[in-house]
Each structure stands twice: as C-alpha cells, then as structure tokens.
Chain A
C-alpha cells in the first residue's frame, strides 16, 4: 500500500499534525515503505481467529461509586499560562457540540 502526498496531507489533518511540503514528501515515502512491509500480514490466514485487544483476560473491572480527592483549581491550572478567572483559555472556536 502506498500513501501519496495527498493522502498524507489528509491523514495529517485528521491527526492535527502540522506538516511542511517537504515533510509531506518525506512521510509519503517513509510511510509507504512501512505499509509495504506491514502488508505481509495479508498473507496470514486469520479466518475464525478472534482479535486480541487486551491480553489480561480480565473483565468487569469496576470500582464503587465513591468520591475521592480532586485537584485544587490552582493545581489544575498550574501547567498552563493561558488561564483566566479559573478557566483554561484557548482561541475562539465556534460552538458545534
């Protein structure tokens, strides 16, 4: 499978990764090579094989509905410089919900 520069651009947009023209070319080349390598999986017969998403074999790991400690507002906002009256601040976005 090859990823052409347009596809790379589309993926970069979806991934919210800023890429330069130069990088698009580079990633197109590198990702295509990696995907070519990965395509060997097509030769494995997986008919009737269940997927493994989690190897622990655990299920229903649940906790009781109990309230614990939260961070203070100051601690929550400690690692950002963009704050105002207890809120985090970012540049305007339109409400889309």
Chain B
C-alpha cells in the first residue's frame, strides 16, 4: 500500500486500526518528498527526521514557532518566529505534524507562484506550466502526494486558483471563519486561511479543526463549524444552483468553459435546480481589489524595516514594491476619496450583488480560473494581464463569502476546477454540493504522472 495516496480521513482510519504506524507514514512521505521536491520546488523548509503525527504542509506565510518562515520573500530570510499561528496550534492539538513549509508568491502576491524569491514551483501535470498562486507549493504538495493535506491562504483566489490548476480541493472559508492570527498579513480585510486537500471530506474535517473564535483575531466570528455526523445526501434534490452570466463571458477559455458546463449539467443530473443569476458589478472586482488590497499591503508591509527582524526594504521583490507603491498612492492626500474610498463603496455593491443572487439560489457555480495552467514566464512582465486571471475568484473575496474549487475535469490534459460559492458563513452547503459532485465523478482519482 502506498501510504501517500491515502486521504486524510483514510490516514486517520489506518492509524487508528493500526494498519500502519506514524513512523511508517512519515517515512513514506519523506521518501516521496526527497524524490519529487528537487523537480517541483515545493518546500522551502522540510522536516528531516519526523516520526510522529500526520504530516501536513503549511504555506510559508503562516508562522510556525521555531521553524523558519519566509513568506516567499528574501526580506524574511532567516526569520524564526517565536510563536505559532492559531490555525497551526489547533492542528498540532489534533496530532498533525508540520512536514514542511511550502513555497508561495512573495507575501502571497501573485497568481502563478513565480513571484517567490526562492524560484517558482512547477505544476505536477506539466513541469513547464505554472501551478497557480499564491498557495503554489501547498497545491502542488497535495497534488503530488507530498503531504496528507496543506494549509494555504486566500486573499483574492490564492487557495482556489492553484487548487484548480493542480487538480485538488481548495477551500477559502468565509472571512472571519478561521483566525488569521499568525498568517503574515497581505490584505487584512481579505486574507483567510484554508485547507487544500485530496477530497472534499478532508477539507471539511480540516475546517472543523482550524475554525472558530480566537481571542487573537478580532474579526473572527463566534460560531463553530462542525462536521455533521449524519450521512451525506447523495443527490442534490432541492438545491438551487445559480450560474452567473458574468462568469462565462469574454476571456473564458473554450476548453475550460466546456468542462465547467459539463460539471453544471452533472449537478442538474444529481437533482439540483439550475437557475441563472446576475452579478452585475463583477467587471469592477479587479479594480476594487487592486485598490483595497494594495492600500492594505502598503501599510502591512511597513513593518519590514530590518530593525527587529529580517532584512532591509531593498530586498522586496518587484511585485511587492509595485503593490506597496500603488497602495501608498491610493491612500495619499488628495487621492484617498477618488481611490480608496471609492473602491470601498463599489465593494459594497459587489457584496450586495451576491446577497441578491443568493435570494434566488443556495450556491453559485462557475469556473475558478478563465484558463488552465499557463506556461512559466508567460505573464511575468505584464502585471495587469496576470491580475485579470483572478476575475472569477476576487468578487467572493471582496464579499467575504466562502468558496471552493473541486476538480471537474481536464482541458488538453490540464486540470480544471469548478468553483462553488456560498452564503456568508455557510460552508456547509458548498461542501455538501462539492462532495455530492465529487462522489458522483471520478476526477479525483486521476493523478499526475510523476
């Protein structure tokens, strides 16, 4: 039995039934990691001789006590945090061990993984392609079975998009569902920690572990997420699935559209009622996002001065510098009202779009990314083009609602994810729909040849 092929739930069961030991489990993952990491560049730090716990990979933007944390940046080279993120602490309580810290775009700023100061992570389905970003290493670690599951962060799509491009399950919880304490802030009003897993059930379990009120994140909601003990409903009878016109317009790759439309048909076959919805302010999502996000970035990255930790400010990569300057400008005297305040108002309209749409449906579905994984280097010199690839993930981030990507097929040999968005704090429904779909299809069983 190849232990690295097991899901989290299967792994827990196997350990409980003593089919294998934690030592064997850790050895299997370590060997897999040794074999694959040199070509995929997933881990920035990896545990040498772990023998205990269930090995999980943690995005290197989430702080780990006494374990180097770089956020994919040269400016934090050698930084060893004196504390754990709340989510990490909660995993440790569940017998999870940190097998490695995963590569990511510098400070989670990027959609391809190429903005890491430590070199790009490669897509396991085609090593010449990007894995998506910014949780590039976490997505690839799961896709290539180099961990049981991973944690990532999603600010404008950074869990969902690489999950889609690498063919794994990725969940961005509602903003306020999971404590952000210890996730190095990119854009504070948008950042959210979430799981990247081999199955939907695994994502559900990890969410239960890491979510809930925390005395260290004031924006964390006081409500618990619990895995329901009752059997999952196999069909989707009574579920209304909204399909937004705006997510199927110009820019959407034909191959991706075909796969996503097939998936929606499958939902219908499972009993769901498909309704058309509109999200009229979708086209402004990226513009709003780039003002709100970069403004918060400019402030969040001001602490990196090289005095108390890390290196000096000349060590920022070019995307970090670009966003810091854009945000500094948007907040500066004379521009605040036209940029920052204006964007905050349009954000309200985007939020209202979803509220209205959810009067007609229970979940909203569409593509995660307009294309499949693109070639390494293809968009690095055109930041705007790179930004536009997040058009379908950004609006949900701005509205704070939960969203996930579940594998739904392939286009020209590369994975495509189906995005499922839900009402605020209603992860339950999107996980139910995703799991029914997953159980009725076999996409998750197709693995990259490595």
A residues at B contact (CB < 8 Å): 3, 7-8, 11-12, 14-19, 23, 27, 30-31, 33-35, 37-38, 40-42, 44, 46, 49-56, 58, 61, 63, 71, 75-76, 78-80, 82, 88, 90
Contact = CB atoms under 8 A, between A and B. Distances in A.
B329 A80 contact: no
B322 to A, nearest CB: 6
A16 B286 CA distance: 26
Given A14-B332, A15-B324, A58-B221, A46 B351 contact: no
A80 B298 contact: no
B399 A55 contact: yes
6 contacts: A11-B332, A18-B313, A40-B283, A51-B341, A55-B400, A58-B176
Interface residue tally of chain B, by bracket? 35 or more
Contacts, number: 132
Contact of B384 (A37, A61, A76, A79): A37
A88 to B, nearest CB: 6
Interface in B80-134: 80, 82
Interface stretch (B42-50, B196-204, B302-310): B302-310
Given A46-B345, A61-B219, A78-B82, 14 more contacts: A7-B329, A15-B298, A16-B305, A17-B313, A34-B326, A35-B326, A41-B284, A42-B338, A46-B348, A53-B189, A55-B424, A76-B82, A79-B309, A88-B308
B60 to A, nearest CB: 16
B342 interface: yes
Output the residue of B291, B329, B399 with the most chain A CB within 10 A: B329
B316 interface: yes
B281 A44 contact: yes
B84 to A, nearest CB: 13
A24 to B, nearest CB: 10
A88 B325 contact: no
A41 B288 contact: yes
Interface in B319-369: 321-322, 324-326, 328-329, 332, 338-339, 341-349, 351
